[in-house]
Chains A and B, each alone.
Chain A
């Protein structure tokens, strides 16, 4: 399995695979052409010495070679070249939709997780602080402070929960993209091996004559089918995350998870007055 860590590396891997496909198809076509040229040259040479219509060389007639050359020139070469070009164009197009920045998402995930750690740290509970404070402070200011303090500290834990969810989802998103990139690249490598094997079987004139073009075209076509299925998998994943599962992101976005409404709680004006006004302060006698 290949190790892919970012988009540039993934794009480069796919570019290499596409180049491999071109090289393999063009290389094998050139090799087939050499096989046919070699066979034809024998008949050219023998034909000069023995100008008769049908000659046999290595079990082949000159008609066999001509038919093989016609099939190669009119069917095999144009169809395989076209299919390879189409597939590479399709792969490039689909892979473009798989862009993303998993390393960047991972970094954000760490930041969001650290956010949660900053907000939730070992400390006495606000209730115990209030109780302690109540031993030396009383009156309307203290009552107002007690209410406000509880709400404010709760906002910290609410926000921490939201950031924890954000960290989880960002991390999952990064992992999903990376996994699909690796799957796609590995499938391309495997598919190219299949295509190469089919092409490399055509080593003689009679094998070129019996060459199953649809089989090879289909094998090349399988590559794009898989790439499309990967893109669909990722799209389905995001749509599943985004809509069908009622969406942690939507809940975070509208403040249903974490800090309510994603708004820091406002201290009630009456409480602010009480806390801010010295005449409302008092101490326990």
Chain B
């Protein structure tokens, strides 16, 4: 992807915004790693708690939210890449070319 046209481009804001999504991506990645510590740990609530299925609820929740965080990381990666790609396309620089739409979409959770 090269220069997409005759726009007088101000891509700095796009790049900054792209960087914000990288920061968010790191935050969600950290959240994922911390939540992951709880996977399968419902047994810690003990026998009586698990009579009331507390352990199952905990494990199901933690498993689901950890998967969600993993999807969040991919989604934020996409957001960052899309903005950076837009900036690159506007700049038309050969060394920082825009990603194809298909390639960008591949970053999203499947």
A206 interface residue, CB < 8 Å from B? no
Contact of A135 among B4, B13, B41, B48 (CB under 8 A): B13
Size of the A side of the interface (Cβ < 8 Å), in residues, is: 74
With a cutoff of 8 Å between Cβ atoms, the chain B residues found around residue A284 in the complex are 10
B24 touches A283 (CB 8 A): no
CA distance A118 to B57 in the complex (A): 23
**Which residues of A (121-171) have their CB < 8 Å from a CB of B?**
121, 123, 129, 132-133, 135-137, 141, 145, 148-149, 152-153, 155-156, 159, 162-163, 166, 170
**Which residues of A (257-277) have their CB < 8 Å from a CB of B?**
258-259, 262-267, 272-273, 275-277
B54 touches A249 (CB 8 A): yes
Contact of B46 among A145, A177, A267 (CB under 8 A): A177
Contact of A277 among B11, B44, B75, B101 (CB under 8 A): B101
A30 interface residue, CB < 8 Å from B? no
CA distance A241 to B53 in the complex (A): 10
| Minimum Cβ distance to chain A for residue B106 (Å) | 10
CA distance A133 to B31 in the complex (A): 27
A263 touches B48 (CB 8 A): no
A165 (CB) vs chain B CBs: closest residue:
B61
B108 touches A133 (CB 8 A): no
A255 touches B8 (CB 8 A): no
A262 touches B64 (CB 8 A): yes
A273 touches B101 (CB 8 A): yes
A252 touches B61 (CB 8 A): yes
A282 touches B7 (CB 8 A): yes
CA distance A272 to B38 in the complex (A): 33
Binary A-proximity of B73-97 (CB < 8 A = 1, otherwise 0): 0011011001100100110000000
With a cutoff of 8 Å between Cβ atoms, the chain B residues found around residue A79 in the complex are none
Contact of B65 among A136, A149, A162 (CB under 8 A): A162
With a cutoff of 8 Å between Cβ atoms, the chain B residues found around residue A2 in the complex are none
Binary A-proximity of B10-54 (CB < 8 A = 1, otherwise 0): 111110010010011001101100110110010111111101111
Contact of A249 among B48, B58, B90 (CB under 8 A): B58
User: Which residues of B are interface residues toward A (Cβ below 8 A)?
Assistant: 1, 4, 7-14, 17, 20, 23-24, 27-28, 30-31, 34-35, 37-38, 41, 43-49, 51-54, 57-58, 60-62, 64-65, 67-69, 71-72, 75-76, 78-79, 82-83, 86, 89-90, 98, 101, 104-105, 108-109
**Please, could you name 30 A-B residue pairs with CB atoms under 8 Å apart, sorted by A?**
A98-B47, A99-B47, A100-B49, A112-B34, A115-B35, A118-B34, A133-B14, A137-B86, A148-B79, A152-B24, A159-B65, A166-B58, A166-B61, A238-B48, A238-B49, A238-B51, A239-B52, A241-B54, A242-B54, A253-B57, A262-B64, A263-B68, A264-B68, A265-B75, A272-B108, A276-B104, A278-B101, A283-B90, A284-B10, A285-B8
17 A-B pairs besides A133-B17, A238-B51, A281-B90 with CB distance below 8 A are: A99-B46, A100-B44, A119-B27, A129-B20, A133-B14, A149-B79, A152-B75, A152-B76, A173-B49, A238-B48, A238-B49, A242-B49, A242-B52, A253-B61, A262-B65, A262-B68, A284-B10
The 8 closest A-B pairs by CB, nearest first: A100-B46, A242-B52, A262-B64, A264-B71, A101-B44, A276-B101, A136-B10, A249-B57
